[in-house]
Amino acid sequence: MSTDTAAAHRAVEAVWRIESARIIAGLARLVADVGLAEELAQDALVAALEQWPAQGMPANPGAWLMLTGRHRAIDRIRRDERLAGKLALLGRDLAAAQPAAPAEFDAVLDEDKIDDDLLRLMFVACHPVLPVEGRIALTLRLLGGLTTEEIARGFLAAEPAIAKRIVRAKRTLADRQVPFEVPPAADRPARLASVLEVIYLVFNEGYSAMAGDDWMRPALCGEALRLGRVLAGLMPAEPEVHGLAALMEIQASRIPARLSPEGLPVPLPEQNRGRWDQLLIRRGFTALLRAEQLARPPGPYVLQAAIAACHARARAAADTDWRQIAALYAALGACSPSPVVELNRAVAVAMADGPEQGLRIIDALAGEPVLAGYHHLPSVRGDLLARLGRHPEAAGEFRRAAELTRNIPERTVLLRRAAECDARS
C-alpha cells in the first residue's frame, strides 16, 4: 500500500470512528437486529475504503455511510424473506426503509432520531441477557467503534477470544429476540444501572493500566469518558448518568499524578496536586452540579463523585474535608451496602477523628468473607497501626497485604512500608 493510500485509509477510518455508532444505531432501527446492523455498517465502511481514496471524500461522509448502509439493508431485506417477514411483523416495510426523495437524504441524519437510536443501542449492548464481559466487548465495538484487536489489547486478552465473545453476544441478542428499544419505565433503573456499570468497568480497566502497558489500556479511560459524556447528553434528566460522568472526569484528572517516575502507584494523599488536570476537574464539578440540580436522592455514582470532588477541592492533602468524606461514605453504604465502602469509610473516619476510631470500624469488618482475600484491608489496617506507633503489628499487616496483591508495583510499595515499620520497631 502506498503512503498516500494508507493516509487515505486512515482518513476514512477517522470518519468511521466518529460516525460508526450512529450509523449502526440507525441501521439497527431499520433491521431490528444489532448484529446485522453492524455487518451492514461494516459493508458501508468497506465501500468507503474502496471509493473515497479514488473519488475523494463526499461532502457529508456520515450521511454517505448511512445511505450506503441503508441500501445494503434494503438489498438484504429483499433477498431474505425471513428477515422481511420479521420486519413486517414489527410493522416495518420496505417503503419506510427506502430513502425516496432527496429530502430523505437530510432526514437520514435527523439528530433527534439518531439520538434515540444511539440510546437504544447502548441499552441493547448492555442488556442483562449478556454476560458482563460480553456487554463490555459489544459496547466498545458498537458504540466506541473499536476493532476486535483494539479491545483485545485493551483487556490483555487474545483476539480470537474477544471475537468469539462479540459473536456470541450478537447471537444471544438475536436468539432471545431482544427488542431494539429503550426499556420501559419499570425496567429502566436496573437497565440503566447495567449501562453505567459497563462504562465504569471499561474506565477502571483503563485506570488500572501500569507503566509500560500497551497504550490501548489507558486509552480505555478515554473511551469510557467519551461514552459517559455522550450518555449524559442522551439522558440529561438522570442524576446518576451525570454522577458517573463526574466521577470519571475527576478520577481521570489524577492520571498524570498517579504513578511515580519509577512506575509505582502514588497514593492519593501523596500525589502532586499540581499535576491534576484542572480542566477535567472543572468538567467533573459541572457534571456533579448538574446531578445535584436534579434534586433527587443521590445514588452511588453521585455519592462517589461527591467524594472524588472533596479530594479535588483540597489544594493540599492536609486541607481534605475528611469529615464530609466520611459522611458521604456513610450515605454510600446506606444506599449500596458493601464492606469495601465500609473500609473506605474507616479510612475517612481515621483521618477525621483519629486512627483508633478507624481501627474500630475495620476490626468489625475482620470476619467479612468478601474481604478475605482483599489486600486493601490489611494494607489500611497496617497504615492505621503504624500511625498509632504499633510498628511490629503494622509490618505484619503490610506483609499480609503484599502477599494478597497480584499487582507487582503495589506489592513493592507494601513491602517497602513493611521494611520501614521493621526499622522503627
Partner 1 sequence: MRFLMTVNGGGRPPDEQLYAEMGRFVEELSRAGVLLATGGLDQGTHVTATGGHITLTDGPFTESKEVIVSFALIDVRSREEAVELARRFWKIVGDGEGDIRQVFGPEG
Distance CA 79, CA 30 (A): 15
Distance CA 140, CA 251 (A): 20
Single residue of 18, 88, 161, 289 touching partner 1 by CB under 8 A: 18
- Which of 218/239 has CB closer to partner 1? 218
- Which of 77/244 has CB closer to partner 1? 244
Determine if 17 is a binding residue for partner 1 (CB under 8 A). yes
Single residue of 178, 182, 227, 327 touching partner 1 by CB under 8 A: 227
- Which of 118/385 has CB closer to partner 1? 118
Q: How far is the CB of 277 from partner 1 (least distance, A)?
A: 5
- SS3 of 402, please? helix
Distance CA 231, CA 193 (A): 12
Determine if 26 is a binding residue for partner 1 (CB under 8 A). no
Determine if 107 is a binding residue for partner 1 (CB under 8 A). no
Distance CA 380, CA 394 (A): 9
- Which of 278/336 has CB closer to partner 1? 278
Determine if 169 is a binding residue for partner 1 (CB under 8 A). no
Sequence letter at residue 26: G
Single residue of 219, 317, 352, 415 touching partner 1 by CB under 8 A: 219
Sequence letter at residue 14: A
Residues in 249-268 at the binding interface with partner 1, rule: CB under 8 A: 255-256, 258-259
What DSSP string runs through 335-354?
HS--HHHHHHHHHHHHHHH-
Distance CA 162, CA 155 (A): 9
Determine if 233 is a binding residue for partner 1 (CB under 8 A). yes
Which region, judged by CB under 8 A, interacts with partner 1, from 56-64, 72-80, 310-318, 353-361? 56-64
Element (H, E) at 207: helix 188-207
Determine if 14 is a binding residue for partner 1 (CB under 8 A). yes
CA 354 vs CA 224, 269, 323, 361: distances in Å: 37, 16, 11, 12
What DSSP string runs through 383-416?
HHHHHTT-HHHHHHHHHHHHHH---HHHHHHHHH
Q: Which three cell numbers stand for residue 32?
A: 431490528
Largest CA distance in the chain: 84
Q: How far is the CB of 72 from partner 1 (least distance, A)?
A: 23
Which region, judged by CB under 8 A, interacts with partner 1, from 42-50, 153-161, 275-283, 404-412? 275-283
Distance CA 69, CA 64 (A): 8
Which region, judged by CB under 8 A, interacts with partner 1, from 9-17, 35-43, 157-165, 348-356? 9-17
List interacting residues with partner 1 (CB under 8 A).
Answer: 10-11, 13-15, 17-18, 57, 59, 61, 111, 218-219, 222, 225-230, 233, 255-256, 258-259, 275-277, 279, 283
